Structure 1
Amino acid sequence: MNTQEVLQHVTTPLANPAYAPVVPRFTNREYLNIVYRTDFDALRAVVPEPLEIEEPLVRFEVMKMGDVSGYGPYTESGQAIPVTFDGERGEYLHAMYLDNFAATASGREISAYPKTVGAPNLYADNGTLVGTLDYGTLRVATATMGYKHNRLDPREAEAQITVPTFMLKIIPDYDGSPRVNELVRTEITDVVVKEAWTGPARLQLFEHVLAPLADLPVREVVSASHILTDLTLAPVKPVYDYLKEARS
C-alpha cells in the first residue's frame, strides 16, 4: 500500500476499518430525556472552563437508534449538562455509554463524543417507558416515565434536542502529554420530529466507580420527554484551545 493509498484511510485497521467512511443519518431515533436538579458543587467539579453553569441541572438521556447508516441499530445513554459559552446556551456532554463499537470509535476519533462501553436499554413496560443503563452486570441507572401521557409541542421537542453541544477533544502525544486539548462545538441538523410526549418521571442512579453517574445526584426531577425523530449530526468545530491558552 503506497503513501497515497494510506492517506485515503481515516482509521485502522487499514484492511478492516473500525467504522465506515459515511456521515450517518439517524432514522427513528427515540429519546427518553429526564432533566433533574443536582448539586452546584458536583457540577463545578466536572464542567471545564470556560463553560459556565447557570443552574444545577442535568439531562439524563437514553437514545434508541432505530436505524443509522454505517452502524445499524444501537442504544446509547448518558448525561448532558446545560451550560453557556460566550453567551450561547448549550449542553456539555459529560459521559455517554453505548453498545456499538463502531459508533463508539467514530464518535471519539472523528468528533469528540465522550463515549465508552455500556449496556443501555429503552422499552415500554406495563404503561411505563423504561430506560436503563448497565455497566457490566451492574445497574447504574433506571429511568421511568408515564408512556405517552401528554403530547409535547413538536417545536418544543425540536428545541430540546437541537441546542448546541460542547465536548472536550483530547488526543495524547506519544510521550503521554496532550497533543490536542480543545473545546469543540456541534449541533443536530435536518430534524424531523415524528412524535413528542411528556409526563411524570422518576430517575434512580446507583454508585459505580467506572460509571459514576451518581456523582451528579438526583435532587429533584424537573421535566421529562419522549421524542421520536430523524436527524443528522453536524461536524464538530473547535471553539477554545486549552494548549494555546496555556502558552499565552
Structure 2
Amino acid sequence: MRKQDVARLFTTPVDSPAYAPTRYRFTDREYLNITYRTDPEALRRLVPEPLTVPDPLVRFEVMRMPDTTGLGDYTEAGQLITVEHEGERGEFNLAMYVNSVPAISSGREYSAYPKKSGSPALYVDSDTLVGTLDYGSLRVANATMGYKQRAMDLDEARAEICVPTFMIKTVPNYDGTPRICDLVRTRITDITVKSAYTGPARLQLFAHVMAPLADLPVLEVVSASHIRTDLSLNPVEPVFDYLA
C-alpha cells in the first residue's frame, strides 16, 4: 500500500474497515422518548461548562433502527440532559448504549457520540410499548408507554427530534495526554416524521456501576412520545475547545 493510500484511510483495519464510509440514512427509525424530572445537583455534577442547566430534565430514549445505510439493523438507548449554550436550548448527550460494533465505532470515531456496548430493545407487548436496556446480564432500565393512545402533532414531534445536541469529543495523544477535547454541536435537519403518538408512561432505572443511569433518578415523568421517522445525521461542529 502506497503512502498516499494510507493517508486516505478513514479507519482500520486496512483490509476490513470497522464501518462503511458513507452518510448514514435511517429508514423507519423509531423512538420511545420519556422525559423526566431529576435531581438538579446530580445534573450539575455531570454537565460540562460552558453548558448550563435551565431545568432538571432528562430524556431517556430507546431508538430502533431496522434499516440504516451502511450499518444495517441495530438499537440504541441513552440519556440526554436539557441544557443551554449561549442562549440556545438543546440537549447534552450523556451516554448511549448500543448493540452494534460498527455503530459504536463509527459514532465514536467519525463523530462524537458517547457510545458503548449494551443490549437495548424496543417492542410492543399487548397494549404497551416497551423499551429496555440491559448491561451485560443485568437490567438497568425499563420504560413503558401506552401504545398509540393519542396522536401527537407532527411539528411538535419534529421539534423534539431536531433539538440541538451537544457532546464531548476527546482524542488522546499516544502518551495519554489529550490531543482533542472539544464541546461539539449537531442538529438533525433532514427528517420526515411518519407518525407520532403520546400517552402515559413509566420509567424504572436500576443502579449499576458501569451503566449509571440511576444516578439521575426519576422524580417525575413529564412527557412521553413514540415517533417514527426517516432521517439523516449531520456532521458535528466544535463550539468550545477545552485545550485552548
TM range (shorter): over 0.9
Name the structure 2 match of 1:226.
Answer: 226
What residue identity is the alignment partner of 1:63? M
Task: Report SS of the residue matched to 2:33.
Answer: strand
Runs (4 or more) in structure 1 with deviation over 4 Å come to none
What residue identity is the alignment partner of 2:231? L
Name the structure 1 match of 2:104.
Answer: 104
Name the structure 2 match of 1:25.
Answer: 25
User: Equivalent residues in 2 for 1:75-154 (5 A)?
Assistant: 75-154=75-154
Name the structure 2 match of 1:195.
Answer: 195
TM-score (norm: length of structure 2): 0.99
Name the structure 2 match of 1:206.
Answer: 206
Separation in structure 2 between the aligned mates of residue 215 and residue 111 of structure 1, nearest angstrom: 26
Residue 189 of structure 1 deviates from its aligned partner by 2.1
What residue identity is the alignment partner of 2:82? P
What residue identity is the alignment partner of 1:41? E
Separation in structure 2 between the aligned mates of residue 3 and residue 187 of structure 1, nearest angstrom: 36
Separation in structure 2 between the aligned mates of residue 3 and residue 175 of structure 1, nearest angstrom: 24
Separation in structure 1 between the aligned mates of residue 120 and residue 104 of structure 2, nearest angstrom: 14
Separation in structure 1 between the aligned mates of residue 153 and residue 207 of structure 2, nearest angstrom: 35
1:74 aligns with 2:74: yes
Separation in structure 2 between the aligned mates of residue 67 and residue 82 of structure 1, nearest angstrom: 29
TM-score (norm: length of structure 1): 0.98
Task: Report SS of the residue matched to 2:129.
Answer: strand
Name the structure 2 match of 1:16.
Answer: 16
Name the structure 2 match of 1:175.
Answer: 175
Name the structure 1 match of 2:36.
Answer: 36
Any idea what the Cα deviations from partners look like across 1:148-189, whole Å, max 9, x if unmatched? Answer: 000000000000000110000011111111110000001112
User: Equivalent residues in 2 for 1:148-167 (5 A)?
Assistant: 148-167=148-167
Any idea what the Cα deviations from partners look like across 1:69-104, whole Å, max 9, x if unmatched? Answer: 000010000000010101111100000000000010
Separation in structure 2 between the aligned mates of residue 83 and residue 215 of structure 1, nearest angstrom: 18
1:239 aligns with 2:239: yes
User: Which runs of no fewer than 5 residues in structure 1 stay unpaired?
Assistant: none
RMSD: 0.5
Separation in structure 1 between the aligned mates of residue 230 and residue 31 of structure 2, nearest angstrom: 11
Separation in structure 1 between the aligned mates of residue 8 and residue 69 of structure 2, nearest angstrom: 20
What residue identity is the alignment partner of 2:11? T
Number of aligned residue pairs: give it: 244
Residue 241 of structure 1 deviates from its aligned partner by 0.2
Task: Report SS of the residue matched to 2:176.
Answer: coil
Any idea what the Cα deviations from partners look like across 1:120-167, whole Å, max 9, x if unmatched? Answer: 000000100000000011000000000000000000000000011000
Greater CA deviation, 222-231 or 5-14?
A: 5-14
User: Which runs of no fewer than 5 residues in structure 2 stay unpaired?
Assistant: none
